[in-house]
């Protein structure tokens, strides 16, 4: 552990690989999107529970959580569930490159939501970054316009990005008075419940698809959630939020490389150009945000 604390960049690399494998694992599930997402969150809750309930301080904080906080966490979990279903479904219709890159526009939607609903402000430079990112999304959609299926997948990815942005905005508010462990545990538990209800509402059974969704859900929980998103939270102790956010933008690149070799998904010139604009726009926005906070 001391070695890792001395070289925390190792954990950044592990985190990038973890989140980049998410779209790859989903491709191997034989179950509907809601079922795969449900298994991911159920496994996550199962793996987190021993940590939450084995520590007296954490148990105490959980039991003392206010009703309003719990309700907001549950609402956050609802939007996270919507995000997972939309994004997993998009991977059934479009390429890994297009889907993961468009989902990365979440940073932009968080910024817009912050301005519209939390009385934030956007500078001209920030608005330029948003324009660059949205232009990149347009080029990817243009590239996929030859196929209605691919275009539908792009739209689902965009809606998934907006849903996760709402989840992030609620989390930004709740985290002011709630620890990371309690917040994530309630959110993940709520998300799992919402996903199971979605399956029931759609009259979709959680069983009958073989072992693949169970295994995929477990791999997503371990690699993409615990060794992915949770590690990035840990890395905030050693790196600036801007650097950690920028590191996450490596996901579309690494995922595309995996998809190239595993699924023979070769990105088009327009897809690459659009991805460069999206990732570049997000990187520039991170720098603008950092400068504004200094």
User: How confident is residue 277, by pLDDT bands cut at 50, 70 and 90?
Assistant: confident
234 located within any domain: yes
Report pLDDT for 1.
55
Q: For 136-147, how does the pLDDT look when each residue is reduced to its tens digit (9 = 90+)?
A: 888 887 777 677
Q: What is the mean pLDDT of residues 220-227?
A: 90
Q: Quote the percentage of the chain above a pLDDT of 90.
A: 35
Domain span at residue 246?
2-98+148-265
132 located within any domain: no
DSSP string, the chain: -HHHHH-THHHHHHHHHHHHHHHHHHHT--S-HHHHHHHHHHHHHHHHHHHHHH-HHHHHHHHT--HHHHHHHHHHHHHHHHHHHHHHHHTTTS-HHHHHHHHTTHHHHHHHHHHHHS-----HHHHHHHHHHHHHHHHHHHHHTT-HHHHHHHHHHHHHHHHHHHHHHHHHHHTTTS-HHHHHHHHHHHHHHHHHHHHHHTT--SSSS-SHHHHHHHHIIIIIIIIIIHHHHHHTTTS-HHHHHHHHTTHHHHHHHHHHHHT--PPPHHHHHHHHHHHHHHHHHHHHHHHHH-
Report pLDDT for 290.
65
Q: For 280-291, how does the pLDDT look when each residue is reduced to its tens digit (9 = 90+)?
A: 887 787 777 666
37 located within any domain: yes
Cα 78 to Cα 48: distance, rounded to the nearest angstrom: 19
Report pLDDT for 85.
96
228 located within any domain: yes
Report pLDDT for 40.
96
Q: For 113-136, how does the pLDDT look when each residue is reduced to its tens digit (9 = 90+)?
A: 877 776 667 777 878 877 888 888
Report pLDDT for 4.
67
Tokens 């890395």: give the residue: 235
Contacts of 22 (CB under 8 A, 6+ apart): 220, 223, 224, 228, 255
Report pLDDT for 81.
96
Is 150's pLDDT higher than 80?
Answer: yes
125 located within any domain: no
Report pLDDT for 50.
93
112 located within any domain: no
- Please state the pTM of the whole predicted model: 0.86
Q: Which of 14-23, 155-164, 227-236, 259-268 has the lowest mean pLDDT?
A: 227-236
- CA torsion sign for 151, 157, 163, 165 is negative
Q: What is the 3-state secondary structure (H, E, C) of 215-272?
A: HHHHHHHHHHHHHHHHHHHHHCCCCCHHHHHHHHCCHHHHHHHHHHHHCCCCCCHHHH
Q: For 51-92, how does the pLDDT look when each residue is reduced to its tens digit (9 = 90+)?
A: 889 988 888 888 888 888 899 999 999 999 999 999 999 999
Q: What is the mean pLDDT of residues 160-169?
A: 89
Look at the chain and report how many structural domains it folds into. Answer: 1
26 located within any domain: yes
Is 105's pLDDT higher than 70?
Answer: yes
Report pLDDT for 269.
86
Q: What is the mean pLDDT of residues 164-175?
A: 83
Is 17's pLDDT higher than 70?
Answer: yes
Q: What is the mean pLDDT of residues 228-256?
A: 75
173 located within any domain: yes
């Amino acid at each position: 552990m001391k070695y890792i604390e001395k070289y925390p960049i190792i954990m950044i690399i592990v985190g990038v690989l973890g989140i980049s494998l998410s779209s790859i694992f989903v491709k191997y599930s034989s179950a509907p999107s809601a079922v795969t997402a449900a298994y991911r969150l159920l496994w996550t809750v199962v793996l987190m529970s021993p940590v939450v309930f084995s520590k007296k301080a954490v148990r105490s904080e959980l039991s003392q959580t206010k009703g309003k906080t719990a309700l907001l966490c549950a609402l956050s979990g609802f939007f996270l569930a919507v995000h997972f279903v939309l994004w997993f479904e998009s991977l059934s219709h479009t390429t890994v490159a297009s889907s993961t890159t468009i989902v990365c526009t979440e940073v932009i939607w968080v910024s817009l939501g912050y301005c519209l609903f939390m009385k934030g402000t956007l500078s001209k430079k920030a608005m330029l970054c948003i324009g660059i990112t949205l232009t990149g999304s347009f080029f990817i959609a243009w590239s996929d316009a030859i196929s209605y299926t691919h275009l539908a997948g792009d739209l689902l990815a965009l809606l998934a990005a907006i849903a996760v942005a709402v989840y992030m905005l609620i989390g930004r508010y709740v985290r002011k008075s709630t620890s990371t462990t309690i917040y994530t545990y309630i959110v993940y538990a709520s998300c799992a419940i919402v996903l199971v209800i979605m399956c029931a509402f759609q009259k979709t059974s959680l069983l009958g698809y073989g072992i693949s969704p169970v295994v995929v859900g477990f791999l997503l929980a371990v690699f993409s959630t615990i060794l992915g998103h949770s590690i990035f939270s840990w890395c905030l102790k050693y790196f600036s939020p801007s650097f950690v956010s920028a590191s996450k933008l490596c996901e579309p690149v690494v995922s595309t490389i995996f998809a190239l070799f595993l699924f023979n998904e070769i990105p088009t010139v327009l897809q690459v150009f659009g991805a460069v604009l999206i990732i570049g726009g997000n990187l520039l926005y991170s720098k603008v945000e950092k400068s504004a906070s200094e």
